[in-house]
């Protein structure tokens, strides 16, 4: 949620704001908000991430940060829980767990995450999108909103969706690589549902830390459906975007993380695990 305030400033301050906006290319809204955040010691346009995508690909699912700590760093985000136990959706400061059996529960503050990304979300821009025929169509339209391919962008997309295709990872012990662990994911198709898609676009240069490209989760307004987004369609949705210019990374201090070799290329494994629809034998009937 964002608020509007009106203040009077001196001509000197106004000229300084205009000059800084002209020289930096940043909006006056951005400059004022950033100055207030710094003065009040509030994180703004900062992203907080727990662990790395490379660690998750290798199956390092030991929890290392609590939900309470996550919520101190942001009110919107996504991730997973200890032992890859479902999908995390952090929205409006509340943290939900979408489980592989299709259930949704609100996570307690003492639960742990091995991987998560959160921001204090304030929309820098708001646009109406539609019609949207597929997830590829959605991400293509979101591409048109991003001012640069070299910065991380957070998105919050709301509306009533004609269809939503979701997955939720099943619980696995650490050591099971991500591709194998998501092979028996729970898959769910929901029609005519009001809800929110949220997540991030990350540049390719950061793929050793984050998940390059779009990483999106969904939760319904009634909090009965949610998970990792695999597909969707909608007549019209409202997309809000938040730009990130500051990254904070929490490095796990577990023995497994400290001894792991993260030098390999994880892009192919992430493409399979994060974006492909794979049904287990039980799903196929």
What are the tens digits of pLDDT across the range 224-260? Answer: 999 999 999 999 999 999 999 889 999 998 889 999 9
CA distance 175 to 179: 12
Same domain for 249 and 108: yes
CA distance 54 to 60: 9
Same domain for 164 and 93: yes
pTM over 0.95: no
Domain assignment present for 152: yes
Domain assignment present for 2: no
Same domain for 51 and 30: no
Same domain for 59 and 37: no
List per-residue pLDDT tens for the chain, 285 residues long.
557 888 888 988 898 888 888 876 667 876 787 677 666 655 557 899 999 999 999 999 999 999 999 999 999 999 999 999 999 999 999 999 999 999 999 999 999 999 999 999 989 899 999 999 999 999 999 999 998 999 999 999 999 999 999 999 999 988 899 999 888 899 999 999 999 999 999 999 998 899 999 999 999 999 999 999 999 999 999 999 999 988 999 999 888 999 999 988 888 888 888 877 655 433 433
Same domain for 15 and 56: no
Same domain for 236 and 172: yes
Domain assignment present for 284: no
Domain assignment present for 11: yes
Same domain for 164 and 269: yes
Domain assignment present for 82: yes
Domain assignment present for 1: no
Q: What is the rounded average pLDDT for all residues in the chain?
A: 90
Same domain for 27 and 65: no
Same domain for 205 and 162: yes
For the chain, what is the domain count?
Answer: 2
Tell me the residue range of the domain where 34 lies. 7-42
Same domain for 220 and 200: yes
pLDDT tens for residues 67-77?
999 999 999 99
185: left (phi over 0), alpha (psi -120 to 50) or beta: beta
Rounding to the nearest 10 degrees, give the CA dihedral for residues 208, 156, 278, 174. 50
Sign of the torsion formed by the C-alpha atoms of 227, 238, 249 and 264? positive
Same domain for 91 and 15: no
Same domain for 85 and 35: no
Which CATH number belongs to the domain containing residue 239 in this structure? 3.30.1330.80
């Amino acid at each position: 949620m964002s608020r509007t305030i009106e203040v009077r400033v001196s001509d000197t301050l106004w000229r300084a704001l205009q000059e800084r906006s002209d020289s930096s290319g940043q909006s006056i809204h951005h400059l004022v908000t950033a100055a207030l955040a710094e003065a009040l010691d509030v994180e703004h346009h900062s992203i907080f991430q727990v662990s790395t995508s490379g660690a998750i690909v290798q199956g390092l699912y030991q929890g290392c940060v609590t939900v309470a700590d996550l919520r101190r760093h942001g009110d919107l985000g996504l991730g997973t829980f200890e032992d890859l136990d479902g999908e995390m959706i952090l929205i409006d400061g509340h943290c939900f767990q979408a489980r592989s059996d299709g259930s949704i529960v609100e996570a307690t503050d003492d639960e742990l995450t091995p991987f998560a990304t959160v921001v204090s979300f304030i929309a820098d821009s708001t646009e109406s999108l539609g019609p949207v025929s597929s997830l590829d169509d959605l991400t293509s339209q979101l591409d048109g909103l991003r001012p640069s391919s070299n910065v991380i962008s957070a998105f919050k997309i709301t509306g009533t969706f004609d269809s939503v295709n979701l997955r939720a990872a099943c619980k696995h012990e650490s050591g099971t690589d991500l591709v194998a662990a998501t092979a028996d994911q729970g898959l769910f198709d929901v029609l005519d549902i009001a809800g929110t898609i949220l997540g991030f676009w990350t540049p390719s240069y950061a793929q050793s830390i984050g998940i390059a490209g779009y990483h999106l989760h969904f939760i319904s307004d009634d909090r009965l459906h949610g998970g990792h987004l695999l597909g969707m369609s909608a007549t019209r949705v409202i997309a809000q975007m938040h730009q990130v210019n500051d990254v904070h990374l929490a490095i796990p201090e577990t023995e497994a993380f400290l001894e792991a070799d993260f030098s390999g290329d994880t892009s192919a494994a992430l493409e399979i695990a994060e974006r492909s629809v794979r049904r287990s034998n039980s799903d196929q009937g």
